[in-house]
């Protein structure tokens, strides 16, 4: 329940969710190395700063 609540608030705030990213990455990309926590958050910040 705690994980579901955490994931809900991350989604509600459009905040990056590193634990969810790691779960997804392990499931879909088992032979690759995931981004570090710092790299993950920097990538999220960079995506938000892109303007069309």
Give residue limits of the domains in the chain.
Answer: 2-48
**Residue 10 contacts residue 16 (beta carbons within 8 Å):** yes
Judged against a pLDDT cut of 80, whether residue 32 lies above it is answered with yes
Percent of the chain that is helix, strand, coil (3-state, to 5): 65, 0, 35
Tokens of 27: 């499931």
Percentage of the chain exceeding pLDDT 70: 81
Residues 6+ away with beta carbon under 8 Å from 21? 34, 35, 40
User: What is the arithmetic mean of pLDDT over 25-48?
Assistant: 90
Residue-wise pLDDT for 3-28, tens only, equals 788 777 677 766 678 888 899 999 99
Residues 6+ away with beta carbon under 8 Å from 43? 35
CA distance 46 to 8: 23
Judged against a pLDDT cut of 60, whether residue 52 lies above it is answered with no
Judged against a pLDDT cut of 60, whether residue 31 lies above it is answered with yes
């Amino acid at each position: 329940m705690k994980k579901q609540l955490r994931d809900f608030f991350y989604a509600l705030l459009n905040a990056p969710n590193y634990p969810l990213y790691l779960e997804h990455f392990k499931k879909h990309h088992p032979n690759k190395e995931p981004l570090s926590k710092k790299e993950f958050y920097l990538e999220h910040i960079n995506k938000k700063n892109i303007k069309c």
